[in-house]
Amino acid sequence: MKNYGFVYKSWWKILGLLVLLYVFIAGFWVPLRPGILSVSELQLKAGEPYSIDVATYNGHFNDPTKELSAYIKIDSVHITKVPYVMVTERNSINLRGTLPQSTPGKEEWTDAVLVLHDKEDGFLVYPPGFVIERSQSTTVDMINASTWSDQITGYEFKWSFKFPFVGNLYETVRNTFFHVAIWMAQFVLLFIALIYSIRYLRSEELVYDAVASSFTHVAVGLGALGIITGSIWAKATWGTYWTDDPKLNMSAVAMMIYLAYSILRSSMPDTDKRAKVSAAYNIFAFVAMIPLIFIIPRLDDSMHPGNGGNPALGGEDMDSTLRLVFYPAIIGYTLLGVWISSLLFRLRRLEIARVNRFLRD
């Protein structure tokens, strides 16, 4: 029997607990950056005055130290600054002005976005924005009309440790540190189980089968937690715990394949036969999981980020502050999974030693 001293060392277990403690504290305590929830007007007309009420989240724009500016932007060249920005409440703003008489291009309707900016929080963009109707009138009050020649100024802002405001996720973006990170840790454990299944088939040492089965069972437990946290997230963002979505369905199929692994092991009393069949099945399950989770969902429309043309968190979404918690979360859950797997392995190792003593006697 080989000596697996690493299993009994404590430094990496303490590290895992400290990392997870940091993830839970930062994941729930760090606030979100301000964001735009809605605007009162979605259709504007060139050359005419406008009054737009803007509802924001976590803005606190009534703070006198904040210097707030607003812009209506068509593209990088056609930008007009809102002349009157009035904070009505800490998360409510009223914008007033008159649009330029003309719009670029010959289309009747032109898309534009709203951009708010202050030096502390940076840019707040409302991607749905507005549609601007082309003016048919030639008697516009040019004294009050703006132009499309403005530039967004004041790019510098004070960096602060805050999570980004992402679309309709709002506070649920924190589930990135739980749902997504747990799934990533599960893949690491399943890959370790795959390696030890291959090692068993090459050497037929039962200790490798014990390692593979331990990691597989813990990974399945993490997968169940991943599905539960994903369902809670879906309820908050989609309004239902489960949808007929290819990503969700394929993930459930992959988990059922691995659940069958446990059933298969328990149905075989013969130790050597169980180890051989389990190792072969473990390899098949891992190979099957790749297309089920990473390929098939991308071939069809999907509400799940990262599939079917729906991008995952990235760029402005998965920014540096999220990464400072997300990556440690993966490490923490992985170390926790390895720790639990090592405990199962020690139990199975004792069982193997008992079987060997029985055979010798």
pLDDT tens profile 284-316? 999 999 988 888 877 776 666 655 444 455 444
**Sign of torsion over alpha carbons 35, 59, 232, 343:** positive
pLDDT of residue 19: 95
pLDDT of residue 303: 67
pLDDT of residue 141: 47
Q: What percent of the chain has pLDDT over 70?
A: 85
Q: Is the pLDDT of residue 6 over 60?
A: no
User: What does the mean pLDDT of the chain come to?
Assistant: 84
Q: Assess if CATH 3.30.470.20 describes domain 35-133.
A: no
The strand pair at 43-45 and 122-133 is best described as: parallel
Residues in contact with 79: Cβ distance below 8 Å, sequence separation at least 6, in sequence order = 71, 72, 73, 148, 149, 150, 151, 152
Note the pLDDT tens digit of each residue in 147-204: 777 777 665 556 678 888 887 788 989 999 999 999 999 999 999 999 999 999 999 8
Q: Distance between CA 122 and CA 61 in Å, rounded?
A: 13
Q: Distance between CA 272 and CA 279 in Å, rounded?
A: 11
Compute φ and ψ for 43, nearest 5 degrees.
-125, 125
Question: pTM (2 decimals)?
Answer: 0.81
Q: Is the pLDDT of residue 144 over 60?
A: no
Q: Distance between CA 321 and CA 199 in Å, rounded?
A: 40
Which residues belong to CATH 2.60.40.10 in the chain? 35-133
Compute φ and ψ for 98, nearest 5 degrees.
-130, 130
Q: What percent of the chain has pLDDT over 90?
A: 39
pLDDT of residue 177: 93
Q: pLDDT confidence of 277, banded at 50, 70, 90? A: very high
SS3 category, 30: coil
* Residues linked to residue 116 through DSSP beta bridges, in sequence order: 70, 124
Q: Is the pLDDT of residue 2 over 60?
A: no
- Closest listed residue to residue 78, CA positions, set 99, 56, 92, 63: 99
* Residues linked to residue 72 through DSSP beta bridges, in sequence order: 80, 114
pLDDT of residue 316: 46
> 246-266 and 206-238 are packed helices; what angle lies between their axes, rounded to 10 degrees?
150
- Retrieve residue 71's tokens: 């812009």
Note the pLDDT tens digit of each residue in 33-45: 888 988 998 898 8
Q: pLDDT confidence of 23, banded at 50, 70, 90? A: very high
Q: Where is pLDDT greater, at 319 or 276?
A: 276
Q: Is 306 exposed, middle or buried (0-12, 13-18, 19+ CB in 10 A)?
A: middle
Mean pLDDT for 29-57 is 90
Q: From the CA atom positions of the chain, what is the Rg in Å?
A: 28
Q: Distance between CA 151 and CA 242 in Å, rounded?
A: 45
Q: Are 78 and 148 in contact (CB under 8 A)?
A: yes
Q: Where is pLDDT greater, at 353 or 201?
A: 201
pLDDT of residue 229: 93
pLDDT of residue 139: 46
> In one letter, which amino acid is 160?
S
Q: Is the pLDDT of residue 52 over 80?
A: yes
